[in-house]
Amino acid sequence: MGQVYPELDRRLVEFIGRQPMFFVATAPCVDSSGDGGHVNVSPKGYRDTFAVLGPRTVAYLDLTGSGAETIAHLRQNGRITLMFCSFDATPKILRIYGRGTVVLPADDKWPEVASHFAPAQAGKGTDRGYQRAIVVVSVERIADSCGYAVPIMEPAQERDLLAKWSERKSAEDLEAYRVTHNTESIDGLPALY
C-alpha cells in the first residue's frame, strides 16, 4: 500500500542513495488551456549526481545531452516529478513531486549548490565541464508505491560514455554543442540560451 510522507527522512534518503538511476518527468503547456507539447521522461544515471539538500529540497546535476526538454519545461512552468525505482528484491517506487528551478554555471548560486556534489561532477575537477546545469527541486509531495511488477535486475556498471565523449571536447566545443542542440525544446520553448 502506498504512503505519502511529509518529508525525506533518513530511511527515504538511504533508499534514494541505493538506486543506480532515477527518472525525471516534465511537461510543457504550449497552449492557453495548459495543454499541448510533448511530455518528457528522462533516465538519469551516475549515482553521485543526485543530492538531498534538505527534508524538502533535492537537486541533481543536469549533464550535457542531446536535448534540453527538462530545462525548457522548468523554465516555462516549473513542474517536475522524480521517480526512484528499486530493482532489487525489495519492491518500492518513490516519487518526488515539486517545482524545479535551473541553476547555470554562471549563476551566483552555482558554487553553493555545486558544493553538494562530488568535486569532479560539480565542475571542480578534471571532467572538463560536461555538466550544464543543476536542477533544484522544492518538494511538494513525496509518495511511494509497491513496485510489485518491476523486475529484479542488477546493474552491471555505470556507463562512462558521456565522460569519455566530453573529455574529447574542449570547453568551447561543449559550449558550441549546447548552443546547437540545447537552445530550445522540441516544442520550440527556450531552454539553455
The percentage of residues in the chain with a pLDDT greater than 90, rounded to a whole number, is: 73
For residue 85, give the 3-state DSSP assignment.
Answer: strand
| pLDDT over 90 at 36, yes or no | no
In this model, does residue 46 exceed pLDDT 80? yes
Q: Which amino acid is at 167?
A: E
- Cβ within 8 Å of residue 182, ≥6 positions away: 64, 65, 67, 68, 71, 132, 191, 192, 193
- Contacts of residue 167, defined as CB under 8 A and 6 or more positions apart, other chains included, come to 127, 128
Question: What's the pLDDT score for residue 121?
Answer: 53
* Structural domains of the chain sorted by starting position, each given as residue range(s) with its CATH number in brackets: 3-181 (2.30.110.10)
β-bridge partners, 98: 80, 139
Question: In one letter, which amino acid is 184?
Answer: E
- In angstroms, the CA 38 to CA 61 distance is 22
**pLDDT recorded at residue 171:** 87
pLDDT > 70 in the chain, percent: 94
Retrieve residue 75's grid coordinates: 523554465
Q: How far apart are CA 153 and CA 1, in angstroms?
A: 22
**Closest of 65, 102, 63, 64 to residue 80, by C-alpha:** 102
Q: How far is CA 176 from the centre of its chain?
A: 22
Predicted confidence band of residue 21 (pLDDT cuts 50, 70, 90): very high
CA distance 44 to 26: 14
Give the span between the Cα atoms of 132 and 181, in whole angstroms: 12
| Residue tagged 533518513 (cell numbers) | 10
Q: What are the cell numbers at 64?
A: 550535457
Mean pLDDT of the chain: 90
Q: Quick one: 35 exposed, middle or buried, by C-beta within 10 A (0-12, 13-18, 19+)?
A: exposed
